[in-house]
Chains A and B, each alone.
Chain A
């Protein structure tokens, strides 16, 4: 019975892209590792170049791979079932990203509520404080580390608040772009998508500005666990926004070429999910890193 209705599940016969991607990741890993050592230990080497070659190759691979897929999708090879596979795959990928951020949020939580109070003598750690870190006072944000490094707090008012509003708005515009696509209002789709990209770019610009400002007022990557969590959380978030923006830009060009239909637009859906995800992470960040 179900037999007749079954649409063939498209399985490509073979593909050159994954192995290209594997070599690319290999170069990125070797390059990044060597570059890290060379940069921080002042050694000579090719790490940076290898890393660069790897990234270039990865971009080449992604372009080729996606071009294949777009072509297949446009020639009607994809069944609904395949569309579901892609959507589910994307959803689980986003879940893995959430867990990646969770590790850093977890570190923030542990440092704030356990490590620092204990260094300050809480629980049964009076001697830790008295003998190892005399005079250390447990406060958050940790503006003076047990080792004595001083830094300054980043307030939430001002740039961070503006950035929050920007990203929240961009989530809304992204949603309306999607609605436009689903209702076949191409104009709304284009405008809203462009607006989303625009907001994302401003966000990134302001974020860069804020980093410069932070370094000026003395909050640096090596100024203790407050600075660490601040920079790694906002930094990884920023990288994700950058990636999200690139995705949206690609989507924009595809929209201009007339790609996507109201009921066949996995790539768009995935891009917009990703965008909403980076927004939600930002809201968490805003509360946990800046306000609280």
Chain B
């Protein structure tokens, strides 16, 4: 996919265009997609560290068997809020931030389609998390029912912070929906002339489909938290058998949102990897069209597999079978993607810059997560694995070494374009290798303790799991500390300490964003380029 452009450099004489405003007002009132992207990315990183601190509490408690550091109720609050923060505060906003920065530059648009709403979608997020975090200090403690807030844990057995939880989730949902509408409309309506559908960069494609998933399922999440609210406070019985409802119905509605949600957190990652590998293998992406179709089929299939989270709830056998096979079907398009990445690297002139290291780690480690997912998809097998650390291992492989690694890869790949300087490569190498090793020490043994029967979300465990858990905790602390290297690197880069880079930055990089100056000017593509 080669693209040449006619009018690239932005027109400095245009009277409309000053640079950014000064001071705090710039960030509060901005309508600029690059500013808003930066806000999202920093917010996400702060949330990543906050959620990470909670994970450290969890791992400290689990360092040894027995109850030592925190009481069980607080332990449950930590697992719950850790999960909520990482999903809604760290991973999703990071992808939205990347979308903001990159999509307009990749499709040759002057900005996002709805710039004011863009600002609103961002600024309600910090408030949502302020509410969620403050709920930890409410009398009776914060939410302690797991990020999945199953009824009746969240209805009959929850504290009064539940109301705060419900409304903070509502705000997160509003933010995601508005963000997704903005992305979809931008892609649909703002492409430069000549940027046809099948010329669109993969990151744009994957985000288009992700945005569709978001608009389809975030309202369902809003619906289910609303039912939790009315069940808890207003006497309804959606999830209460005595009133003709069913707690299992909660799980159906939740996972109808929840499974597409996990793809929301991985499809943009697929897009990112599909940019980085071709650049450093110096070959075009293998099977571009099949990548597009695979992404679309994953998204469609993701609507009919939700009950693989519910195999042990006692569904009729026919349903168990259906959801088992449908789930396995999803691995086909996922496999297509992995195959295409490997085929792109095959006989490429490969170099191993930092983004590429993360991308390769992604391909391998995400695949491990996919394979454990396949194991979990087998109904009778899941009867044993369900609610054990095996599931925890599975989703941390796909989410941490998958989604989070892809976000880091993206940060390293596009950071020089954003700041105009190369980041500190020594620090980056330390960050990569420390993260890579520690993350596997952290999550790989979870497979073993899970298979041996250690349940998740319990602050204590049987003695035979002690050795593995010690190592898991050590890996956890090491992984946590490694992220401080990343923090230092990001601060340096944002202060523009480093060698200036060329416009193309990486010599194999292709796409509109590499044809504008580095650092990217405040306004790009006031008049659209023509893509040939």
Interfacial residues, chain A to chain B (CB-CB below 8 A): 1-3, 6, 8-9, 11-19, 21-23, 25-26, 28-30, 32-34, 36-37, 39-41, 65, 81, 84-86, 88-89, 92-93, 95-100, 102-104, 106-107, 110-111, 114-116, 118-119, 123-124, 132-133, 142, 145-147, 149, 221-228, 231-232
8 smallest CB-CB distances across A and B, nearest first, come from A103-B223, A222-B235, A147-B242, A18-B120, A100-B219, A115-B246, A22-B123, A29-B167
With A29-B131, A92-B215 in contact, do A18 and B123 touch (Cβ < 8 Å)? yes
Q: Contact at B241–A18, with CB atoms within 8 Å?
A: no
Contacts of B174 in A (CB 8 A): 25
- Whether A22 contacts B527 in the complex (CB less than 8 A), given A107-B249, A146-B244, A232-B230, comes out as no
Closest residue on chain B to residue A22 by CB atoms: B123
A106 CA to B526 CA, complexed, in Å = 46
What are 18 A-B contacts with C-beta separation under 8 Å?
A: A9-B190, A29-B164, A32-B167, A33-B131, A33-B167, A37-B160, A84-B189, A85-B113, A99-B217, A103-B222, A107-B227, A111-B238, A114-B246, A119-B246, A132-B241, A142-B244, A232-B227, A232-B230
For the residues of A in contact with B, the DSSP-based class is helix
- Across-interface contacts of B21 in A (CB, < 8 A): 14
Distance of A25 Cα from B127 Cα, bound (Å): 8
Residues on A with C-beta less than 8 A from B236 are 221-222, 225, 227-228, 231-232
B188 at interface by CB-CB < 8 Å: yes
Most chain B beta carbons < 10 A, residue from A28, A37, A97 = A37
Q: Does A92 contact B181, Cβ atoms closer than 8 Å?
A: yes
Question: What separation, in Å, do the CA atoms of A111 and B242 have in the docked complex?
Answer: 12
The CA of A32 and the CA of B110, in the complex, are separated in Å by 39
B482 on the A face (CB < 8 A): no
Would you call B527 and A146 a contact (CB within 8 A)? no
- Whether A147 pairs with B123 at a CB distance below 8 angstroms is no
Which of chain B's residues 172-212 have a Cβ closer than 8 Å to chain A?
174, 177, 180-182, 184-185, 188-190, 193
Q: Say yes or no: A224 contacts B243, CB within 8 Å.
A: yes
Give Cα distance in the complex from A111 to B252, angstroms: 12
A85-B190, A107-B238 given; A19·B123 CB < 8 A: yes
In the assembled complex, which residues on chain B have CB atoms less than 8 Å from the CB atom of A123? 316
Q: In whole Å, how far is B97's beta carbon from the nearest beta carbon of chain A?
A: 16
Establish whether residues B130 and A146, one from each chain, have CB atoms under 8 Å apart when the complex forms: no
Look across to chain B and name the residue whose beta carbon is closest to the beta carbon of A133.
Answer: B241
Complex alpha-carbon distance, A34 and B30, angstroms:
32
Q: Report the separation of the CA atoms of residues A146 and B246 in the bound assembly, to the nearest whole angstrom.
A: 11
Q: Which residue of chain B lies nearest to A13 when distances are taken between CB atoms in the complex?
A: B31
Q: Is B474 an interface residue (CB 8 A)?
A: no
Beyond A34-B163, A103-B253, A225-B237: 18 further Cβ-contacts under 8 Å?
Answer: A8-B526, A8-B527, A11-B31, A13-B31, A14-B25, A15-B29, A21-B120, A26-B131, A36-B229, A37-B163, A96-B218, A99-B218, A102-B219, A106-B253, A111-B244, A115-B245, A146-B241, A146-B243
Say which residue of A18, A104, A145, A232 sits within 8 Å of B116 (CB atoms): A18
Task: Report B-chain residues with C-beta under 8 Å of the C-beta of A93.
Answer: 177, 181
Write the B101-114 contact mask toward A (1 if CB under 8 angstroms, else 0).
00000000111011
CA distance A155 to B280 in the complex (A): 68
Chain B residue contacts of A119, Cβ below 8 A = 241, 244, 246
Q: A12-B31, A14-B31 are in contact. Are A107 and B220 (CB under 8 A)?
A: no
Interface flag for B383 (CB, 8 Å):
no
- A19 and B121 alpha carbons, distance in the complex (Å): 10
User: In the assembly, what is the distance between CA of A231 and CA of B231, in Å?
Assistant: 13
CA distance A1 to B230 in the complex (A): 58
Q: Per DSSP, are chain B's interface residues mostly helix, strand or loop, or mixed? A: helix
Q: Is the CB of B220 within 8 A of A33?
A: no
- In Å, the complex CA distance between A106 and B109 comes to 39
Mark each residue of chain B from 53 to 77: 1 if its CB lies under 8 Å from any CB of chain A, else 0. Answer: 0000000000000000000000000
Q: Are A100 and B222 in contact (CB under 8 A)?
A: yes
Q: Which residues from B are CB-within-8-Å of A41?
A: 160
Q: Is the CB of B124 within 8 A of A22?
A: yes
**B contact set with A: CB distance below 8 Å:** 6-7, 16, 18, 21, 25-26, 28-32, 109-111, 113-117, 119-120, 123-124, 127-128, 130-131, 160, 163-164, 166-168, 170-171, 174, 177, 180-182, 184-185, 188-190, 193, 215-220, 222-224, 226-227, 229-230, 233-238, 241-246, 248-249, 252-253, 256, 316, 526-528, 530
Q: How far is the CA of A81 from the CA of B192 in the complex (A)?
A: 12
CB closest chain-A residue, reference B192:
A2
Does A26 lie within 8 Å of B185, measured CB to CB? no
Q: A84 contacts which chain B residues (CB < 8 A)?
A: 189
Is A25's CB under 8 angstroms from B124's CB?
yes
Report chain B residues within 8 Å CB of A25.
Answer: 124, 127, 171, 174
Among A14, A39, A221, the one with the most B-chain Cβ atoms within 10 Å of its Cβ is: A14
Which residues of chain B are near A14, meaning CB under 8 Å? Answer: 21, 25-26, 29-31
Measured CB to CB, the closest approach of chain B to A247, in angstroms, equals 17
A88 touches B243 (CB 8 A): no
Interchain CB contact under 8 A, A111 and B245:
yes
For residue A112, give the distance in angstroms from its CB to the closest CB of chain B: 9
Point out the residue from B115, B171, B188 that lies within 8 Å of A29, measured CB to CB. Answer: B171
Taking a contact as CB atoms under 8 Å apart, the answer to whether B238 and A225 are in contact is yes
